[in-house]
Amino acid sequence: MEPYRIKVVEPIPVLTRDERTAAMRAAGYNPFNLNADQITIDLLSDSGTGALSAAQQAAAALGDETYAGARSYYRFRDAVASLTGFEHILPVHQGRAAERILFGALIAPGQLSVSNTHFDTTRANVHLSGGTAVDLPCPEAADLDSDTPFKGDIDLVALAEALEGPTEVAVVVMTITNNGGGGQPVSMANLEAAAAITRAHGVPFILDAARFAENAWLVIQREPGWSDKTPTEVARAAFDLADGAVASLKKDAIVHMGGFLALRDPDLATRCEAVLIATEGFRTYGGLAGRDLEMIAVGLEEVVQPDYLRARAGQAEHLASLIEKAGVSIVRPPGMHALYLNAGRLLSHLTPAQYPGHALACELYVAGGIRCAELGSLYLGVEDETGTLVKPAPYELVRLAIPRRTYTQSHLEYVAEVIAEIATSPESVPGQRLVSAPPLLRHFHCRTEPV
């Protein structure tokens, strides 16, 4: 049961199937081109899409918009410091700004950033700093169907090899939970071991802590020795292992905008602060309004409440069980922020070159007004000059991201009904063909058509 009730509502559009078919065609079969007015249930992202609490809105009214030294900054700083224990805390407008500033200071051209899995923007910021991003997910992550509890872990043997390898490792980044790796959690045992190996080589160990509370909750549920701890204690134990953290607060601070860069090393913090001031804003607001800083401080307290986390995990599990009952596979076990549908298996009549994940994402919109994103060969595959897919993605997935406190159980049951209806005749879902695709970030811009 959700531990909150609804006080403010926003109507959601419900279009006819014909209207949705026309909207999808006009969008070039790219869900990123759809407008909010055309979408019934938006599962594109859990980022910045959560519902604010009354307490957050009340705090926003106290927002102090003083240019330097705002009261709101100190409330933000104290909330982040008491959660993480880091000494140097820089506000940023969102997670990717923290990545850009930190990697610019840490990575020299030719060096490596090693991770359990870099999120897209994290990878892009490593590359912008002249480095190369290397993902070392644990071997268990490759089996989508296994119920191994911590498929977000890093491969410790491969990490040790990378740290000893010929190319210098500038930073190790642990993404908790592992968004690019199916939303799977990272165990405390893996974090401890990875931190020890990394520290032994004198390399900074950084958390990408966008979903720190959800990772903590899954540790409490799944990892021996942690079941009697609070989410705050587990999160703190994770931060204690790290030299610093970048975080998008649009996830686990349940706000629409915000992030932080937190560090222990005063020299590194000073270098980052100079770039922060030049590109984001003064060190006491960093691209955020006072009211944002206030809402973050409250959100960071709300997100670690066990009742909230239990209900959030329960929503994901409930949706997962309805989807599996309809005969559709997901990446197991279900995490918390998203479910990943195995589109390759459901649409087995399509080849990777017909982009089954993308085809399913388009069908979910046409059938039910549900928007979500493909994580398969459209996003990760490689084509030759003629547009022929020469290197498909390892999996053809569709991510259903679940915004925080936004949709009720009946909304999610509706999503499951639409998926179940598609699963009654999956062979009727047409494949897709690329019509146009820019070379960079093509999944945001490309156009396709049914074949």
Chain residues that interact with ligand F0G, rule: CB under 6 A: 45, 47, 94-96, 119, 121-122, 175, 179, 208, 210, 248, 250, 259, 401
Q: Which of 88, 250, 358, 443 is catalytic?
A: 443
Q: How far is the CB of 122 from ligand F0G (least distance, A)?
A: 6
**Catalytic residue status for 120:** yes
Q: Which of 208, 243, 252, 292 is catalytic?
A: 208
Which distant-in-sequence residues (6+ apart) come within 8 Å of 186 by Cβ?
116, 150, 152, 153, 154, 174, 175, 176, 177, 178, 215
Nearer to ligand F0G, 125 or 354 (CB): 125
Contact 338, 401 (CB under 8 A): yes
**Catalytic residue status for 67:** yes
3-state DSSP helix/strand/coil percent for the chain, to nearest 5? 45, 15, 40
Instruction: Outline where DSSP puts E strands in 302-426.
Output: 338-342, 370-371, 373-375, 382-383, 389-391, 397-401
Q: How far is the CB of 373 from ligand F0G (least distance, A)?
A: 8
Q: Which of 26, 32, 54, 67 is catalytic?
A: 67
Q: How far is the CB of 133 from ligand F0G (least distance, A)?
A: 12
Find, among 184, 290, 304, 183, the residue nearest to 232 by Cα. 304
Q: How far is the CB of 179 from ligand F0G (least distance, A)?
A: 4
**Catalytic residue status for 443:** yes
Q: How far is the CB of 334 from ligand F0G (least distance, A)?
A: 16
Nearer to ligand F0G, 106 or 350 (CB): 106
Nearer to ligand F0G, 64 or 99 (CB): 99
Q: Which of 23, 105, 210, 316 is catalytic?
A: 210
Amino acid found at 419: I
Q: Which of 32, 58, 78, 120 is catalytic?
A: 120
**Catalytic residue status for 76:** no
d(CA 326, CA 311): 23
Nearer to ligand F0G, 29 or 119 (CB): 119
What are the C-alpha distances in Å from 41 to residues 203, 416, 422? Answer: 43, 12, 16
Residue nearest to ligand F0G (CB): 95
Nearer to ligand F0G, 258 or 426 (CB): 258
Which distant-in-sequence residues (6+ apart) come within 8 Å of 161 by Cβ?
none
d(CA 370, CA 365): 5
**Catalytic residue status for 210:** yes
d(CA 419, CA 434): 24
Positions marked catalytic: 67, 119-120, 208, 210, 251, 443
